[in-house]
Amino acid sequence: MTLFEKKIAVGVSGGIAAYKACELVRELKRNGALVRVCMTESATRFVGPLTLATLSENSVSMSLFADAEVDGTVHLDLARWCDALVVCPATANILAKSRNGLADDFLSTALLATEAPIVFCPAMNSAMWAKPVVQDHVRVLRERGAKLVDPEWGELATTSEGKGIGRLAETGRIMQAIKQAVLGNKQLAGKKVLVSAGPTREALDPVRFITNYSTGKMGFALAEAAKLRGASVTLVCGPNQINSIEGVNQIDVESVEQMLSALKSEYSDSDLLLMAAAVSDYLPKRKSPQKLKKASTSLAIELRKAPDILTALSDPNATCVRVGFALETENEIANAQVKLAEKDLDMVVLNNPLQSGAAFGGDTNIVTLIERKGAIETLPKMSKAEVADKILDKISPLLYADSSKTVAV
């Protein structure tokens, strides 16, 4: 699921974090959303309307009465247009107005008039955030169905404030909340989805390790897509630089053994396994307790075969639907079909990292979906978020059916 051509209204209220709305608008546009911005008068003291108009590629609404002679309902247009209204930043003042149904400017009127999901992103001084009256507003707004992206611990506006809870949430967290508000559904409600992601690291000595180029982006995309469909998601991931996903149980590991242990502990009651991690095939036979010195022109490292996670998780009595990933650079289809059979998979997702648009670390992928029943579908290049949706579209019906374990030949 993507935000392509989804209509997102961004309301900016008057706090020092208003400048961060620019980053949010840019990220929404990068994700294909259509964006319109409205601002309170005090917000214009922190960031210029021209900046947000340029980034959103739409004029910025500020006055209830602008163009009133041309269109008397201008103050309602935004409320009717949007698929979600995001208030970023949300000051204590706009939270109070919304809780109490006040509508004395463009943004507060839009909040009262819209029937679209509302996402508040509070940001304020930590003492203000902690006030019982503010927390009461937050509680009531949540009870009424609004989504709130709680502020984070960090440095506040001035050195005198120091650190505290009140800092605007990172853009990644806000984007997750917007996607949940706009795209979320209950297709996988009640299902437990187990996802692996990223590389593993196998230590040679205290400072060196064997690994691969995987970043974990595909696995994280799968975890987010499953979460958006209402599943309970556990993500077991190797070292990565990706923001955690709100509402996903994330277990961080490094080695093959650690990943296997974590997956084993979660597998028995899982409904769907998405094994997207790029797990090491070999690991050092011995780990040096001290840093290996450069004592000669060559160094021989003895390796042993790593545990095979999919094989270790195989259970003929298990009902878990299993999806594996096959990275192949030659004889791709044939090799992937062998993996499908040997690992007892319901589907294998094949890709070749040598293809342009399918390399490690990229935001796109080119995959072929090979099903147990024999169907083969090659998808065009698309974002990893779109690939994740295609995989779930294909495999989800098996979660509600008695899937045969007979491999097609």
Q: Which residues are catalytic?
A: 212
Token pair of 297 as six digits: 């022109």
Q: Name the residue type at position 344.
A: D
Distance CA 115, CA 29 (A): 23
Per the CB < 8 A criterion, the answer to whether 239 and 254 are in contact is yes
What residues pair up with 347 in beta bridges, in sequence order?
323, 371
Distance CA 225, CA 231 (A): 9
Token pair of 128 as six digits: 């203000």
Distance CA 349, CA 334 (A): 13
Report H helices in 196-244. Answer: 217-228
Distance CA 291, CA 308 (A): 28
Distance CA 377, CA 367 (A): 9
Q: Which residue from 328, 16, 61 is spatially nearest to 155, judged by alpha carbons?
A: 16
Q: Which residue from 120, 48, 116, 41 is spatially nearest to 83, judged by alpha carbons?
A: 116
Q: Which residue from 181, 180, 155 is spatially nearest to 166, judged by alpha carbons?
A: 155
Distance CA 197, CA 309 (A): 13
181: which residues sit within 8 A by CB, 6+ positions away? 84, 117, 118, 119, 147
Q: What is the DSSP letter of 42?
A: G
Distance CA 121, CA 167 (A): 10
- Among all chains, which residue has been given the structure tokens 């108009």? 53
Counting beta carbons within 10 angstroms of the beta carbon of residue 354, is it exposed (0 to 12), middle (13 to 18) or buried (19 or more)?
A: exposed
